[in-house]
Amino acid sequence: MRGPHNIWRLVRTGATFERTGAMAEVLEAMNAPARLRLAARVLGWPFKLLGLKGDENLPPLVRALTALGPAYIKFGQTLATRPDVVGQELADQLRYLQDKLAPFPRAEAIAMIEQELGLPLAEAYSDLSEPVAAASIAQVHQARLAETGAKVAVKVLRPGVERAFRRDVDAFHLAASIIELLLPKSRRLRPLDVIVHFESLVEGELDLRIEAASAAEFAANTEGDEGFTLPRPVWHLSQRRVMTLGWAEGVPMGDNAALDALGIDRRELGTRVLTLFLRHALRDGFFHGDMHQGNMKVTADGGIIAFDFGIMGRIDAYTRRAYAEILFGFIRKDYRRVAEVHFEAGYVPPDRDIDDFARALRSVGEPIFGMDARYISMAKLLSYLFEVTERFGMETRTELILLQRTMVVVEGVARSLNPEINMWQVAKPVVEEYVRTHVGPQAFARDLALTAKILSRFGPRLPRLVEEALIAQAHPKPAPTPTRRIGPLGWGLTGGGLVALGVAIGAAL
């Protein structure tokens, strides 16, 4: 329920970071100015005892995030893939959040399974292990199907996780509103829209039937991708809070020592991870949106197995072309074309100077090319990109948030396997292949054929549609006059007034 009471939740968040020592650790890792560290300490100290204590056996940041709940843990999972942003030590600590959280009792899992499937456990599975992995939303048990004896993974939602997530997201809504109110310049970043987007992703994760459908679609799209597989859902044993998938056997992607023991070429593996993501995003427009180390395993022969399909991204054909042309322009150092694509797609307001924007893009791209990846600071790069977007009034594109976030995560995974990997060199053949087939004469001919096909469906109706449009233009209808209503307290309210009153009541609740 949204309202002013969420202020307490935000205060408690800051207090928890202060009490666990996470605030100082984060500011230190990000090389925050001394004044900012002092201000955070002065403002946080009076509220310190209001914070959650957390598990004292865990490192400070992990301790704070696990104490605060699943939405905060999701954020920590993303940071775990970015040692170049938070530092290697913090990144290693945060990997704990990917699949090593404290599980809930097996007995509770059995009760939920029987309730969701509507049958005794023995009729579904011949065996159900203790939890083998536990994350922010669910935990996984190994089992065998009662009918066939096939080994499967049984994913069960954490009890009460739906309510916990909605509670956290409500607090995020308030935080975004406060940011927009106090920092007008932040409105171009659309904080509220970003939270709404995050909320929609969370809702999808909390229904395992949707995840099973995503797994099936992703499997169909990637069936021909060599060295990449994923477990298939067992539909009759999958419901809203329980999902059954084939078992994925392999070494965790984040265990470099185990990969080296198997003789896996980590340089090649890092390249393949990045290549697969780009191919799925550009070729299919449907990609794994949570592709961190905890959601991938590596087989003995070097094959990649992906799982956990709660967050999947989808981008339309036009956006894919724009994204590919932007990447292609950076690869070719054609910053003028990159700028043109931004303007054509409406990412930059039309009143800005395209040459100035191209020059700003060059200042971002040129330092990267030819530089050893080990010396590229992603934190500084992101900071400078933020300055560029602010200068040119670029608004946040919510449809690209997940794509951009996943790109950052996947690059982090690839870099954890090979610190010297160069994203642009890896991306070049994939992007060039896409541009050859989807941008240019072939794409133009294909678009014309598709347009003709769509128009043919409406052929018999076209004369009538044109006639109705012409009549409507010649004889426009007058706008309806709002009906004046009298509220129960004697207020005279128009339709707009009723909407405003409803919004006010909703905000108060």
Give catalytic residues, as residue numbers.
290
**DSSP codes joined into one string, 192-229:** HHHHHHHHHHHHHHT-HHHHHHHHHHHHHHTTT-TTEE
Question: What whole-number distance in Å separates Cα of residue 356 and Cα of residue 350?
Answer: 13
Question: What whole-number distance in Å separates Cα of residue 419 and Cα of residue 416?
Answer: 6
Residue 468: count other Cβ atoms within 10 Å of its Cβ: 11
Q: List CB contacts of 447: < 8 A, sequence separation 6 or more.
A: none
Indicate the burial class of 284 (C-beta count within 10 angstroms; 0-12, 13-18, 19 or more).
middle
Q: List CB contacts of 153: < 8 A, sequence separation 6 or more.
A: 140, 141, 142, 143, 231, 244, 245, 246, 247, 248, 307
Instruction: Assign 3-class secondary structure to 8-63.
Output: HHHHHHHHHHHHHCHHHHHHHHCCCCHHHHHHHHHHHHHHHHHCCCCCCCCCHHHH
**DSSP codes joined into one string, 59-107:** -HHHHHHHHH-HHHHHHHHHHTT-HHHH-HHHHHHHTHHHHBSPPPPHH
Indicate the burial class of 110 (C-beta count within 10 angstroms; 0-12, 13-18, 19 or more).
middle
